[in-house]
Structure 1
Amino acid sequence: MAEIEFYTEQFRVMDCDCDMNHRLTPGAFLRMAQQISTDQCESIGMNDEFYRQNHAVFLLAKLALKMERTPRGGEVLTLVTMPEQCKRAVYKRVTEARDEKGERVALLDSRWVLVDTDTRRILRRPPEAFEIGRFAEEVPFTLDVTIPKPAETEPSGKVTATYSRCDTNGHMNNTRYADAAADALPLDVLTDGEVKSMVISYHNELPAGQSAELVRGRTEDGGWYVAGQRADGRPCFEAVLTVE
């Protein structure tokens, strides 16, 4: 069996990834996490050609993000990504970020499914090529991925899968839903506070050029709930943010 390796990479917090308070946005952090995940997969041969040959691709189903401290522009973060073997059709991947003092600033628990690119169905039994020996049997970090529902919601605009928000799958990139959820909140909520945690559940992809109507509401514990619904009536995503 191949030796299990967790993958490490450094990222500089760019000014263009920061908000008006010079703090790293949740969506920008998710893009760092997405990049290190891609780099780790490519390092063991799981590149675009590999996915094409096996007619399968990983899609994100849920994630939970916990921010211990919001990094600021100019900081250098060390990310470590830790993928787990498939369990009940789900691949868990945990990504941790530490600052230059070695202190953890963020923890991301993401849950992925393997989808057949021809049928668009979840593969309960992965192809032999996806039996990845260098993914760990167990990753000892777990965050709560449940999303509490508010008693009431109100309209909060819409989000469109525009050119700059889409990826090579032809739909809105999963990190852009974090941007959409943050943008759906009243502006002063995030200018006066910071996102301490975020949970996103991805229901149905938003294809390029299509839009989703957004609603928002407050949960019993004071969190902000945001959800999107496509024009065909199908739910697109749900998210809940804790802002302090």
Structure 2
Amino acid sequence: MGNYRHTQEFKIKYCEVDFKDEIKLSTCLSFMEEVACLSADELGFGYSYVKAKGCAFMVTNIYLEFLKPIRLGEVIKAQTWPLPPSYVVFGREYQFLSQMDDLLMRATSRWCLVDVKTGKLLQSKVIDNQDYSTYNTDKAVENVQWKIPAFERDDGELRFSLKIANSEYDHNMHVNNTRYADYCINCFTLDELKERAIAKFSIAYIKQCREGETLFFYRKKITENEYAVQGFNEKGEKVVQAQIGFDE
């Protein structure tokens, strides 16, 4: 399994692009989630397997880089493979390729295994049907800096808010990770995005959000081409933080 990579083709649809006819950030995360789940199923530790054990995989961090635009109507190949896990962290790598095998996007993510009833993190040894020594160790992105600049709400600008409803949910009974990408992008105006392209995106999921909660998203400029975005609930608890880098 040392060279294992799960590959899935996607044709970019009208509902998957933004106002510039380029792939939405949330679409990228959706494709990544889809191939991750299919890969886990293929390797024998997917949704049905962990559900029977009373646990679930939850993504905690995502980092991605765009190398070329991905546009409406294009057919891309999304690849993914799991890395050998640590004590409680499951790493997974991704690449989006053109039909000519040009690299369009590369990404990495970190997941944890959670006991559904208690919410406690579980050790990787709970997945007892894998030989991690045979896993592909290739990195799609080298030397990722997972730490995202933090700031207090008073140091940022309130740019977006919403009340969570059921359409945001997935089968883990919380807001799906892909939705937060849209919330972060909503912190920018059309005019701000019109002449800019996202080069890098990093997000850390801190606290699960559920129906009825109101979330407030604040933005702070870090450099000329980089911004930090943080989401808070009504209690003032930070639920998510992200960093967005635009092309220079």
Output the TM-score relative to the length of structure 2.
0.90
Q: Is the 8 A contact 2:86 2:124 kept in 1?
A: no
Query: What is the CA distance between 1:6 and its match in structure 2?
Result: 1.5
Question: Bigger CA drift: 215-224 or 28-37?
Answer: 215-224
Distance 1:42 1:134 in 2: 19
Provide closer, same or farther for how the CA distance between residues 150 and 4 of structure 1 changes in structure 2, counting only shifts above 3 A.
Answer: same
CA distance in 2 between counterparts of 1:104 and 1:78 reads 10
Identical pairs, percent: 20
| 1: CA distance, partners of 2:132 / 2:124 | 16
Please report the TM-score for the alignment, with normalisation by the length of structure 1: 0.91
Deviation at 1:105, TM superposition (A): 0.4
User: The residue matched to 1:180 in structure 2 has which SS?
Assistant: helix
Report how far residue 138 of structure 1 moved. Answer: 2.2
Instruction: Report the counterpart of residue 154 of structure 1 in structure 2.
Output: 157
1:194 match: 197
In 2, Cα distance between the equivalents of 1:148 and 1:212?
20
Once the two structures are TM-superposed, the CA of residue 66 in structure 1 deviates from its matched residue by 0.3
Check 1:216–1:162 CA distance in 2 against 1; reply closer, same or farther (3 A cut): same
Residue in structure 1 matched with residue 236 of structure 2 by the alignment: 233
Whether the aligned pair in 2 keeps the contact of 1:219 and 1:225 (CA below 8 Å) is yes
- The within-5 A match list for 1:1-244 is 5-129=4-128, 131=130, 133=132, 136=135, 138-141=137-140, 142=142, 143-149=144-150, 152-220=155-223, 222-244=225-247
| Structure 1, gaps ≥5 residues long | none
Cα deviation code 1:169-192 (max 9, x no counterpart): 111110111111001123312122
Residues 148 and 74 (structure 1), Cα distance of their counterparts in 2 relative to 1, 3 Å cut: same
List per-residue Cα deviations over 1:181-210 (Å, max 9, x = no partner).
Answer: 001123312122111110001100111332
CA distance in 1, matches of 2:73, 2:53: 40
Gap regions ≥5 residues in structure 2: none
How many residues get paired? 243
Q: Distance in 1 between matches of 2:125 and 2:196?
A: 43
Contact 2:85 2:132 in 1 (8 A): no
Once superposed, what is the RMSD of the aligned Cα atoms? 2.1
